[in-house]
Chains A and B, each alone.
Chain A
Amino acid sequence: MVKPADRDTPAQHVRVPLRPARLRPVWLVVGLLAVVGSLVVGVSVGPVNLPPTGVARELVSLLPWVDLDSGLSERQQALLLELRLPRVVLGLLVGGLLALAGACYQGVFRNPLADPHLLGVAAGAGLGVTAVITLRRSGGGAATGALPFGTPLAAFVGAIAAVTMTYALASRGGDRAPSTLILSGVAVSAFLAAGQTFLMQRDADAIREVYSWLLGRLGTAGWRDVLLVLPYAIVTAAVVLLHRRDLDVLSVGDAEASALGLDPQRTRYLLTAAASLGTAAAVSVSGLIGFVGIIVPHTVRLLAGVGYRTILPVSALVGGAFLVLADLVARTAAAPAEVPIGVVTAFLGAPFFVLVLRTSTAARS
């Protein structure tokens, strides 16, 4: 039993202030400001610009027990509440989920390159959604329109299958280089994408629908999509955030983590499932939007510190804001046409990925 230092130890009177790595309020505030800022900008800017102050007043009046006249016209209100707001809220949810999932995978696999897309999880989820779309068409009935509410579950099955395959492939041979896991993810992604193409080719009409979803979009979002993704987002965020300290413990490897009192396998399974569920939900409503899970957690880690108690919540907030702003670029860069949002994130993310790859390789040698 460790008791206070001995009486004859000169250090006994030393009192050192200890500041453990906790979530500092300032970073929470920064994250929340990013969310609110991106929300206001995201709903104000578009082919028809809305006055930001009016928008802000209208948003505040949505809060319970607040009655405020925003000064917006009825058309402006409809544009705001029925078109722009659901799109921005969906962007916040999807971006938050992808960033949270990326940070979580990085901790679980102790791999700075882990990301929902690079691990093949998104491709697995994509295959699940494609199966839903094509099966629904071959089953007759309503061939187009909104996806059924069970879609994220089909995506989840694909996502779990993918991450299991990637991890199993990478674990053989015992090579712990970060790039091994990613190469396995590439192989699994290619395999699953082939399966997806096969499904699509069987039904020519499905191709258009799958493609329009696949390229990544928040564009056709309505409140229905928000409702579709919300329950999964809540479950994912709750599970991952509750285990934030466990991810720090896992950073010393499985053997030492279990000696410290953590069950590493159980923790890994649970957190992988949670991150994959979040990815599946995000992919179901928005298609394949890459690199958010790499860009956001690494930026947060760089600025706010290495502890997962900071990285996870701040990444979720900043990830949402990031995706809303990326969507803004997608909407406005080639107006009146829209660039797929996946293209915007890839333009930013690919160089960023190379940077992370180089630093992680340098750190190992």
Chain B
Amino acid sequence: MTAADPVIETRGLRVELGGNRILDGVDLVVHAGEWVTVIGPNGAGKSTFLGAVTGLVPAAGEAYLLGRDARRMRHRERARLVASVAQSPVVPPGVTVLDYVLLGRTAHIPRFGRESAADLDVVHDVLVRLELHPFTGRVLTTLSGGELQRVFLARALAQQARLLLLDEPTSALDIGHQQEVLDLVDALRRDHELTVLTTMHDLSITGAYADRVVLLAGGRVVADGTPREVITEAALATHYQARVRVIDTGDGPLVVPIRAR
């Protein structure tokens, strides 16, 4: 791999699940430092795409992470390159914030070994950065939704991977917490030169944060560009069957549904 290699490159990525074609030839190149958000109607294959990119969902076609075949990577290797937060992560009962975030170090801890002082240092920095340090001993199930989302993010950051995949990172949060989490991701991206690939339902939020938006429909990329280029009234009418007005606010497109009369 070289520095010039794209972080993600897929060619003709196809996925079939239970006889249904979910992805039908997706080509995408994501470069280092970009924030790319995948949007699309329900069932468009957004989450499947995130899984297929990393080789965790079996797919035909080609998928490369930093120039290397994603499906030939060992689990540990991949986990050092890619960290992800699932749409609704499992909350194991009785586990504390610290132990949960330490799970993010799995790919760095030698097999049959245990976490080193260096691992604890990384986790410490992540916890402080995400202002979770007052919670280290708290059991996950006692946290609020916003706190929990930061804990999920902390575990992913503890992996020290260059690519961060977020599947609907804010769908369970109110607008204030959505903003808090996405601002945090944005700051971390700049500080640590992360590449962010995320799926999102809220198009206005998407427009405010993503450098680039990819619209997925029917298992294919139907639009790829800046938020202003992709999030248009025509595109949303065609692919979401949505009647909306898109207002350009200067900070990004604002999507307002038009009520049926």
Contact = CB atoms under 8 A, between A and B. Distances in A.
A262 B92 contact: no
Contact of A260 (B94, B107, B157, B188): B107
A6 interface: yes
A272 to B, nearest CB: 18
A20 to B, nearest CB: 6
Interface stretch (B81-89, B199-207, B242-250): B81-89
Contact of A21 (B96, B112, B126, B158): B96
B99 A21 contact: yes
Given A3-B192, A259-B82, A260-B159, A306 B93 contact: yes
Contact of A258 (B75, B102, B109, B129): B75
B80 A261 contact: yes
Interface string B136-165: 110000000000000000000111101000
Contact of B128 (A12, A255, A261, A262): A12
B86 A255 contact: yes
Given A2-B158, A260-B159, A20 B102 contact: yes
Interface in B63-106: 74-76, 78-80, 82-84, 86, 89-90, 92-96, 98-99, 102-104, 106
Contacts of B126: 2
A19 B138 CA distance: 12
Contact of A262 (B80, B106, B157, B193): B106
Contacts of A1: 160, 162, 192-193
Contacts of A251: 90, 92, 95
A363 interface: yes
A14 interface: yes
A245 interface: yes
Q: Could you say which of B51, B109, B112, B188 has the most chain A C-beta atoms within 10 Å of its C-beta?
A: B112
A5 interface: yes
A16 B129 CA distance: 12
B120 interface: yes
A252 interface: yes
B133 A256 contact: no
Interface residues of A, number: 39
Contact of B125 (A4, A21, A249): A4
A271 to B, nearest CB: 13
For chain A, what secondary structure do more than half of its interface residues adopt (helix, strand, loop), or is it mixed?
Answer: loop
B124 interface: yes
B21 interface: no
Contacts of A22: 114
A20 B120 contact: yes
A245 B116 CA distance: 14
B72 to A, nearest CB: 14
Interface in B39-79: 51, 54, 56, 74-76, 78-79
Interface in B230-256: none
A11 interface: yes
Interface string B154-194: 00011110100000000000000000000000001001110
Contacts of B30: none
A18 B122 CA distance: 12
B76 A261 contact: yes
B128 A252 contact: no
A275 B106 CA distance: 23
B131 interface: yes
Contacts of A245: 106, 109, 112, 114
Interface string A242-267: 11010011011101101111110000
Contacts of A243: 112
B217 interface: no
Interface string A285-321: 0000000000000000100011101000000000000
B106 A260 contact: yes
Contacts of B86: 255-256, 259
Interface in A8-64: 9, 11-12, 14-16, 18-22
Q: Which 3 A-B pairs have the closest CB atoms?
A: A261-B107, A261-B79, A306-B94
Interface of A: 1-6, 9, 11-12, 14-16, 18-22, 242-243, 245, 248-249, 251-253, 255-256, 258-263, 301, 305-307, 309, 363
